[in-house]
Amino acid sequence: MAMDYGKCAKEIYETLGGRENLVSSAHCATRLRLVTVDNSKIDKKQLENIDGVKGVFLNNGQLQLIIGTGTVNKVYEEFLKVSGMTAATKEEVKAVAAAKQPVFKRMIKTLGDVFVPILPAIVASGLMMGLVEALGKALPAFAASDWYGILDLLANTAFVFLPVLIAVSAARVFGGNIFLGAVIGMIMIHPNLINAWSVGSMDPSQIPVWHLFGLSIRQVGYQGHVIPVIIAVWLMCQIERWLHKHVPEMIDLFVTPLCTVLLTAFLTLGLIGPVFSAAENYVLSFAQWIITVGHGIGAMIMGALYPLTVVCGIHHMYNVIEAGLLSAEGGLNIWMPIASAANFAQGAACLAVGLKARNQKTKAVAIPSSLSAALGITEPAIFGVNLRFVKPLACGMAGGAVGALLGSIFHIGATSYGVTGLPGFLITMDYTVQYAIILAVSFVISFVLTWVVWKEEGDGSEGERAVKERGEGEEGKKPEKAAASAGEILVKIPEQMEEKALYAPLKGKVIARDQIPDETFASSVLGDGVGIEPETGLVVAPCDGEIASLTDSRHAIGMVGAEGMEILIHVGIDTVNLQGDGFELLVSMGEKVKAGQKLLIFDMEKIKAAGYSTTTAVLVANSFMLPGFKVEKTGETEFMEKLISVE
């Protein structure tokens, strides 16, 4: 039976609370992406029960409804008709969703948006500075040469003019004219102002002052400062936007830029600069106190927590601290060893997983990710491996804590920021041995702990599949005599498998689809198929395919297999009410899976104790489009016996 797109859209609209609870809507390849006024007014269970909705979850302020490839666009068209809304892009919906986030999260995201685009310039300059400095120390004659002079100039340019880079990036983020932003940045480091790095060595009475509007404005630049520049450009963008709205178009071209720059410049030099540079100094002092408190205990704590700030997406705020540390008297970045120890430790934990894992897919992800982390890019290791398995993340945090403590004890300081891991040797030339020690200690602790603590669960890896094909367990046992725990059950893969077929994803008794004790499944509204009364709490992939949908409550999995078969495996009846209790997913959205690979473990006794049936629906949502659809098996079945075929 064809899906009624209009009915699906109308039910979604009504369940969401109507137009007054909707802010924005868009769609991607598989999901309807919505931003609502109040998510608490939405009944997720009711949404999940709408025909056509395969899953519902919240992510970064967005309500996302999994509809499916080739279907979501049709539902979206009907949704726009019934709601009266206009189409939005995914980026626009993300922007609206971001605006609903808490102020602190928005501030951190803004810092990231400002710094991420300019990091390549900072990293390149930092590495070049380290290399030039190293050559100068190793070759005194080179340090006195013209080559050293010009290379040093090229290397430190990004740091000398850092406020300009920040101003341009901030203007882009805040929606202002980037060239006016550049002017504000240049005003703040104009050569007529005393360089901020020279002020510390001067007698305060020698610093010239302007007396304007009853204010005394010190003629001091803001080299190396971050917060005053961002605040100044934010103000500039507000002024520019207001003027564009109120200045007549015929004079807007020259009046708006002129007034924007003048007003922003006076406010920046007279108020914003002095106030926020003082605030920035307090932030830096607090950061230094954290690092040094208790003879490095603070650094140890931050070394442990650093990966969690990466997970939360707030690690970009450290760029502000590092830039400020470099601009302070002494000019060394003492935060860098903390980040480097933490990052290197996560890479070591990830490498241990990669070397220990039997699953070839895990190896393929973990080993390259560990190398990336060794070079300072940890997101692949943290999100792709360590966070997924949890224990490696914790082991990495332990190693990072010890390494950060040693970094504090050794008083290591870097000459740049944005660089960690192995490239960090180039910006810690005065502490080469100490830096090598903290990396080595972080690595060894994390690697050894992960190797000992983390154990891979049976997950359909190629090594295990070879054993299963012979019908043997780890000790030569037959699969049916293996341990009763679902996580230890071995699945025998048939030697010959048909591409246009589904194989039993559970062991138990196969019943006809119309005997499933749920009207929605029995009526074939979600597609034709069968029910299985399981004997064990394990679900495996019925064919090779891709995970297309997962529910927050973890009780249902959607797959796309051969011939475009859209497969739904729904464990139990009304088990959505358990809210995931008793269910453990072993796969993630978009993951490619092999026939027989373990997908889901569930607690049969917990489901029964809650009063729900464990009968599992195995349906093909688009069965009506597949010629020769046929149920091949009823009665008792083992894992991976032929269940359904199509022509």
Q: How far is CA 272 from CA 171, 232, 388, in A?
A: 16, 7, 44
Distance, in Å, from the CA atom of 331 to the CA atom of 325, rounded to the nearest integer, reads: 6
The pair phi, psi for residue 55, each rounded to 5°, is 180, 155
Give whichever of 189-198, 223-232, 307-316, 537-546 has the largest mean pLDDT: 537-546
Alpha carbons within 13 angstroms on the beta-carbon side of residue 255 total: 12
Active-site amino acid positions = 28, 570
Helices H / strands E in the chain, number of each: 24, 20
pLDDT band of 507, cuts 50, 70, 90: very high
The pair phi, psi for residue 547, each rounded to 5°, is -70, 120
Stretch among 133-147, 278-292, 573-587 having the lowest mean pLDDT:
278-292
Please name every residue paired with 546 in a beta bridge, in sequence order, or none if there are none. 560, 592
pLDDT band of 150, cuts 50, 70, 90: very high
Residue 399: pLDDT over 90: yes
Q: Give the pLDDT confidence score for residue 237 in this predicted structure.
A: 94
Give whichever of 384-398, 415-429, 460-474 has the largest mean pLDDT: 384-398
Domains in the chain, please, with CATH?
5-101 (3.30.1360.60), 103-349+393-445 (no CATH), 497-645 (2.70.70.10)
Average pLDDT rounded to a whole number, residues 425-445: 91
pLDDT band of 443, cuts 50, 70, 90: very high
Q: Give the pLDDT confidence score for residue 504 in this predicted structure.
A: 94
Please name every residue paired with 210 in a beta bridge, in sequence order, or none if there are none. 217
Q: Give the pLDDT confidence score for residue 467 in this predicted structure.
A: 33
Handedness of CA 504, 509, 515, 519 (dihedral sign): negative
Condensed to tens digits (0 to 9), the pLDDT of residues 45-102 reads 888 888 888 777 776 567 888 786 567 778 888 998 888 877 654 455 555 555 556 6
Q: Give the pLDDT confidence score for residue 468 in this predicted structure.
A: 38
Q: Give the pLDDT confidence score for residue 128 in this predicted structure.
A: 80
Condensed to tens digits (0 to 9), the pLDDT of residues 469-495 reads 333 333 333 333 333 345 457 788 887
Longest CA pairwise span in the chain (Å): 95
Stretch among 140-144, 409-413, 470-474 having the lowest mean pLDDT:
470-474
Stretch among 111-125, 230-244, 288-302, 532-546 having the lowest mean pLDDT:
111-125
Token look-up 């920040």 returns 166
Distance, in Å, from the CA atom of 158 to the CA atom of 177, rounded to the nearest integer, reads: 21
Q: How far is CA 510 from CA 597, 632, 634, 638, in A?
A: 20, 10, 5, 10
Average pLDDT rounded to a whole number, residues 237-252: 91
pLDDT band of 384, cuts 50, 70, 90: low
Q: How far is CA 166 from CA 25, 283, 334, 585, 633, in A?
A: 33, 19, 22, 43, 66
Q: Give the pLDDT confidence score for residue 463 in this predicted structure.
A: 34
Average pLDDT rounded to a whole number, residues 539-547: 91
The pair phi, psi for residue 293, each rounded to 5°, is -60, 140
Residue 332: pLDDT over 50: yes
Condensed to tens digits (0 to 9), the pLDDT of residues 203-215 reads 777 888 898 877 7
pLDDT band of 109, cuts 50, 70, 90: low
pLDDT band of 538, cuts 50, 70, 90: very high
Q: Give the pLDDT confidence score for residue 320 in this predicted structure.
A: 66
Average pLDDT rounded to a whole number, residues 356-371: 80
Q: Give the pLDDT confidence score for residue 621 in this predicted structure.
A: 81
Average model confidence (pLDDT) across the chain: 81
Stretch among 93-102, 595-604, 615-624 having the lowest mean pLDDT:
93-102
Q: Give the pLDDT confidence score for residue 481 in this predicted structure.
A: 32
Average pLDDT rounded to a whole number, residues 217-241: 88
Q: Give the pLDDT confidence score for residue 260 in this predicted structure.
A: 95
Average pLDDT rounded to a whole number, residues 243-254: 90
Residue 316: pLDDT over 90: no
Count other Cβ atoms within 10 Å, centred on residue 590.
10
Element (H, E) at 531: strand 528-534
CA dihedral 364, 368, 373, 377 (to 10 degrees): -100
Handedness of CA 58, 64, 65, 67 (dihedral sign): negative
Residue 2: pLDDT over 80: no
End-to-end Cα spacing for the chain: 19
* % of the chain beyond a pLDDT of 90: 27
Count other Cβ atoms within 10 Å, centred on residue 386.
34
Q: Give the pLDDT confidence score for residue 319 in this predicted structure.
A: 67
